[in-house]
Amino acid sequence: MAQSDSPLRQMKRLGLYRPGTKFGFRSPLKNDSGFIEVLPLKKSWPAIFFVSIFLISFSMPLFLMDLGMGEVDDLFDLTASLFSIFWAMGWSTGLAILALILMAMLFARDVLVVEPDNIRLRIELFNLGIESSNPLKYTSALRYVGKPIEKGSTWRDKHLAFDDLHIPISFGSQISPSRAKELLRRIQHTLEHPVAASLPPEMEQTYASQETPEQNVASMISEPVETVSSPDENPSSRASLYLLVAANLIPAVGVILAGSGLCRTFPCFHVTG
């Protein structure tokens, strides 16, 4: 896999081995042996300020507009009022989406859910969010990242990470070394067995033997494709095409002759219906 690719693009290439994802409310723990930890999620205050100004500016026309429902005297006034109402509804939908983005930037949380055989990572807002499931058998190299250099994780600053089939999965942000040490100890203690530094050899062989989507597409392209002659290459079909064009030109020729002076000199056929 190319090192320049982001973890998200690398995950798309895993096929059946891609971590499971779902959207919804947080499900409870399967048993009491796991734990849930809410981790700090770094906020971008310049982006929050920009979105806030954008939301306030685009909300003003909505509150200042006059729907004119009290001055409906005729059909024209009713049409104008309905247009204003539907415009306000469409404008409000855009503002609602922008407000939801602002709330996510302010109140979204990074949640770590550790179970004996699985590590679940969530980004949620009021317990509703997106979750990725990472089975323990595919997990390796659980670590603390003090100086992030991997693409897509530098915004987190100091954080925790592990590899899911060699793809780095990051979680948390701005975590101090002391808290990171405690979290790593707790995670390793909760799992059925500690996360290894690398994948087991049998898992490496199983993963390497699978055909990736890129290889599957390449094999399909390399297969010989039977060529089928087009209808234009058949002489009989070409002759039929010429006859069809000529038949459609006959009425046009008749119209031209009827509009010219030739019918006064030469007899023309007149079709009545």
Per residue in 72-121, pLDDT (tens digit) is: 667 777 787 788 888 888 888 989 999 999 999 999 999 999 999 999 99
Q: Which residues are CB-contacts of 58 (< 8 A; sequence separation ≥ 6)?
A: 91, 94, 95, 98
Domain ranges of the chain: 1-27+44-208
At residue 134, does pLDDT exceed 70?
yes
pLDDT tens by residue, 169-210:
999 999 999 999 999 999 999 999 999 988 877 777 666 665
pLDDT in tens, 18-47: 667 888 898 888 777 899 999 988 888 999
pLDDT of residue 271: 42
User: Measured between alpha carbons, how far is residue 157 from residues 106, 145, 148, 193 in Å?
Assistant: 18, 8, 6, 28
Residue 198: name the closest of 139, 145, 134 by CA.
139
| Contact yes or no for 58/95 (Cβ under 8 A) | yes
Instruction: Compute the distance between CA of residue 250 and CA of residue 227 in angstroms, rounded to an integer.
Output: 37
HEC string for the chain: CCCCCCHHHHHHCCHHHCCEEEEEECCCCCCCCCEEEEECCCCCHHHHHHHHHHHHHHHHHHHHCCCCHHHCCCHHHHHHHHHHHHHHHHHHHHHHHHHHHHHHHHHCEEEEEEECCEEEEEEEECCEEEEEEEEHHHEEEEEEECCCCCCCCHHHCCEEEEEECCEEEEECCCCCHHHHHHHHHHHHHHCCCCCCCCCCHHHHHHHHHCCCHHHHHHHHHHCCCCCCCCHHHCHHHHHHHHHHHHHHHHHHHHHHHHHCCHHHHCCCCCCCC
